[in-house]
Structure 1
């Protein structure tokens, strides 16, 4: 194998008259093919450029149309009314039952207890004024003795049936672990409008 001399480096030789040569070749090609072919090639290149530009415009149009559709749907959607503190308080008071409806609310509570197989032997009722608030807290304490599942069903059904009834506390007590019944002390608070707040 012959040794390569470092002094002998391959050099790319470019002809000094290359630009003149390319111009001459272009004129010769035009003469051979004719000016119509050159114009046709130029038109084909312009058509390709126009097609590429049209594709770009169509993609942009599609994106803008999607944005306009979203904006139109958003504008057409009903706007939720702005809830102010005053309107929220007024809605709260309108939602409360009247003071005169307390007996009906208690009858409904007793009906739910009977439906859940909860015997109500006694109950304590105590109205509580809440300062200058326009509503009254009506505290209801129910000591019951029943099956735990029935007590749980009673609590859930009562809260679902009477929307202004809140569960303040519940305490369970069982005499023996294996006993089926539990003693529960349930404290509800029923919110009603004060008597002077009639609307």
Structure 2
């Protein structure tokens, strides 16, 4: 009885095969192939995913060295503040800065016929704001290059506002309103 009867096994398999039919055999083949793919390929991928996740958790945890560093606050000393304010030009050098801006405009073939100037004190600190408004007419690229030149050469100057208008789409020139702010030291006029 311990021996498996081969003839009985063949008869049993043929009986199940005939009961399943062609579509049943196809379904069994698909199930078996899915199980083989799962066992060989997907289980390996699951192991790789868990390994990668554990490595990621190790790297995302803060290291002991970073946790033991003392937290220092950044303090601004009076010397640092003085150095900061020394970076800005004195009020007496204002004509020099304005003539440099005019020279840069001429270099880009722009003419600064008119300008509006306004001096005001900032609410905090020792700086004065000198607001300069230029209406400029020229090609867009010339105006853009002028702005880039001015901001590069004059680090104490900021572009506060820019408005560009073109009469029609065929016109090569644009009208621009440039508002610059020059920061000056307020104590040296």
Hey, what's the Cα distance between the residues in 2 that align with 1:99 and 1:186?
22
Hey, what's the Cα distance between the residues in 2 that align with 1:129 and 1:100?
16
- Of structures 1 and 2, the larger Rg is shown by 1
Query: Structure 1 residue aligned with 2:100, among 97, 100, 108?
Result: 108
Query: Structure 1 residue aligned with 2:164, among 138, 160, 172?
Result: 172
Gaps of 5+ in 2: 4-73
Report the count of equivalent residues: 120
Matched, 1:192 2:184: yes
Matched-pair contact (CA < 8 Å) for 1:113–1:119: yes
- When the two chains are superposed, the root-mean-square deviation of aligned CA atoms in Å is 2.2
Deviation at 1:83, TM superposition (A): 6.3
Residues 6-50 of structure 1: CA deviation (Å, up to 9, x unaligned)? xxxxxxxxxxxxxxxxxxxxxxxxxxxxxxxxxxxxxxxxxxxxx
TM norm structure 1: 0.55
Matched-pair contact (CA < 8 Å) for 2:121–2:129: yes
Matched, 1:148 2:148: no
Deviation at 1:197, TM superposition (A): 4.7
Deviation at 1:131, TM superposition (A): 3.5
Deviation at 1:86, TM superposition (A): 3.5
- CA, structure 1 residues 105+83, in 2 after alignment: closer, same or farther (shift >3 Å)? farther
Matched, 1:181 2:164: no
Hey, what's the Cα distance between the residues in 1 that align with 2:144 and 2:80?
32
Query: Structure 2 residue aligned with 1:121, among 92, 95, 113?
Result: 113
Q: Which residue of 2 aligns with 1:96?
A: 88
TM norm structure 2: 0.58
Alignment of 1:17-56 (within 5 A): none
Hey, what's the Cα distance between the residues in 2 that align with 1:152 and 1:171?
12
- CA, structure 1 residues 84+144, in 2 after alignment: closer, same or farther (shift >3 Å)? same
Matched-pair contact (CA < 8 Å) for 2:161–2:179: yes
Q: Which runs of 4+ in 1 moved over 3 A?
A: 85-88
